[in-house]
């Protein structure tokens, strides 16, 4: 029975992989109504962020009840990460995204002894992101810079049931709040899925008409100096195609576990790089 159970699980995973690898006959197309709903979601999220700032809540843990907030800060200073899946609403109602799935998370970490300038030096060193964040970032390049505005190219890599490689062009804007706080907002101007990676036939699929693994991506960083170190927070919001209902029972847990691991790796690698910068 145990052997039979393992075979069933393997078959189920194979079916999921096939479903994800093979798009519908018409392709997974980013529809205008899907993009519009995602824009509404981002707008509502940014309104919440503005409200948090005006009420003195800079980091995600600042929104927690008093006892839980104190505990979270203590755990952060002990080296743990705070990671939470988020769901923005309009009023009390969820924002429906037809034919799409939103991935919205926030993660916070702490780097003892670090400074704001050391942290920014790592985050803004886009040419070396391919080293700092490998293997999730395969290639990286700073395309343009105008003071606190950046245009960046990244080739992102992720492997789970399937291997996904995408070329992403981002625009990034940094804002400073005094001498101890900084924020950044990055948003994708172009995302193209890459297929046949490493082969002579390697190529990009048409933008918005691909497998639909990732269509749009926003990321918000917050950096705060206090408690003899630096708190770092990243809040990414991504848009992908929706999961076919036939396999949602098996795929949905992956849409939770994979982003959590990616976020943990991102924060950990940032901490390692900043510590190295501080020691150099």
Mean pLDDT rounded to a whole number for the chain: 88
CA distance 78 to 199: 45
Tell me: the pLDDT tens digits for 180-218? 999 999 999 999 999 998 899 999 999 999 988 899 999
What six digits make up the tokens of 278?
A: 């501080």
- Cα separation, 17 vs 129, whole angstroms: 29
For the record, the structure tokens of 18 come out as 């096939």
Q: What is the DSSP letter of 62?
A: G
The CATH H-level superfamily of 30-279 is START domain (3.30.530.20)
Provide the residue-wise pLDDT of the chain in tens; the chain has 280 residues. Answer: 454 455 545 544 444 444 444 444 335 899 999 999 999 999 999 999 999 999 999 999 999 999 999 999 999 999 999 999 999 999 889 999 999 999 999 999 999 999 999 999 999 999 999 999 999 999 999 999 999 999 999 999 988 777 889 999 999 999 999 999 999 999 999 999 999 988 999 999 999 999 888 999 999 999 999 999 999 999 999 999 886 544 444 445 555 556 788 899 999 999 999 999 877 7
What's the CA gap between 280 and 272, in Å, rounded?
12
């Amino acid at each position: 029975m145990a052997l039979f159970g393992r075979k069933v699980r393997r078959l189920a995973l194979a079916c999921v992989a096939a479903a994800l690898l093979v798009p519908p006959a018409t392709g997974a197309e980013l529809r205008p109504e899907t993009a519009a709903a995602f824009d509404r979601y981002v707008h509502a999220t940014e309104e919440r962020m503005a409200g948090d700032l005006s009420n003195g809540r800079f980091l995600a843990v600042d929104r927690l009840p008093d006892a839980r907030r104190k505990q979270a800060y203590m755990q952060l200073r002990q080296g743990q990460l705070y990671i939470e899946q988020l769901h923005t609403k309009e009023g009390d109602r969820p924002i429906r995204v037809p034919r799409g799935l939103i991935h919205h998370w926030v993660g916070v970490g702490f780097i003892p002894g670090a400074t704001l300038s050391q942290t920014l030096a790592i985050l803004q060193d886009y040419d070396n992101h391919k080293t700092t964040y490998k293997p999730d970032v395969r290639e990286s390049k700073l395309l343009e810079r105008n003071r606190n505005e950046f245009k960046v190219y990244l080739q992102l890599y992720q492997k789970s049931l399937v291997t996904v490689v995408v070329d992403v062009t981002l625009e990034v804007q940094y804002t400073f709040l005094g001498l101890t706080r900084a924020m950044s907002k990055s948003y994708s101007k172009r995302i193209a899925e890459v297929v046949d990676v490493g082969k002579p036939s390697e190529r990009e699929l048409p933008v918005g008409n691909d497998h639909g693994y990732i269509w749009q991506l926003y990321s918000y960083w917050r950096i705060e100096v206090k408690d003899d170190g630096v708190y770092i927070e990243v809040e990414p919001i991504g848009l992908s195609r929706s999961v076919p209902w036939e396999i949602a029972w098996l795929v949905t847990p992956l849409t939770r576990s994979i982003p959590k691991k990616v976020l943990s790796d991102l924060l950990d690698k940032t901490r390692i790089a900043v510590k190295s910068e501080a020691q150099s």
